[in-house]
Amino acid sequence: MRLLLDTQIALWWLVASPRLSRAARKGLAESACAVSVASIWEVAIKHALGKLPVAPRDFRDELAAVGVAILAIAESHALATSDLPPGHKDPFDRLLLATAQCEGMQLATADAALLHYAADYPGLPVRQI
């Protein structure tokens, strides 16, 4: 399975957070995983605000070192955000979800708000981790 990791899942995986179960770690290790440049941008913003100790270059480099592909933001990804159903306002989540749709991937997340949104629209490519 091809997975697009949301920012939180990618961070948890890199720091071996206990928030990721053993089964989730195994699933990630056995899947083709990618991270959007949008996640690197999100980390850069939170790092600059002092909300996240991980520097964006370290985040990118550590992901690449474990074989996670880095996906550029394509015009089609940005345009597809306008096709998503209303109800979820987070622009990073919307871009990640649109990217997953465009790329035929599942968005791996533990974000309660995003999971609730996906439950309201079952066709969305969201996988709970």
Q: Which CATH number covers residue 98? A: 3.40.50.1010
Domain count, the chain: 1
For residue 87, the model assigns a pLDDT of 87
Q: For residue 35, name the pLDDT band (cuts at 50, 70, 90).
A: very high
Distances (CA, A) of 3 to 10, 17, 48, 108, 112: 11, 19, 27, 6, 18
Q: Give the CA radius of gyration of the chain.
A: 14
| Domain carrying residue 34 | 2-128
Contact 12, 28 (CB under 8 A): no
pLDDT digits (tens, 9 = 90+) for 60-119: 999 999 899 999 999 999 999 999 999 898 999 999 999 999 999 999 999 999 999 999
Above pLDDT 90, what percent of the chain? 86
For residue 119, the model assigns a pLDDT of 94
Whether residue 1 has pLDDT greater than 90: no
Q: Is 61 exposed, middle or buried (0-12, 13-18, 19+ CB in 10 A)?
A: exposed
Tokens 């949104």 sit at which residue?
A: 117
pTM, full prediction: 0.93
Contact 34, 9 (CB under 8 A): no
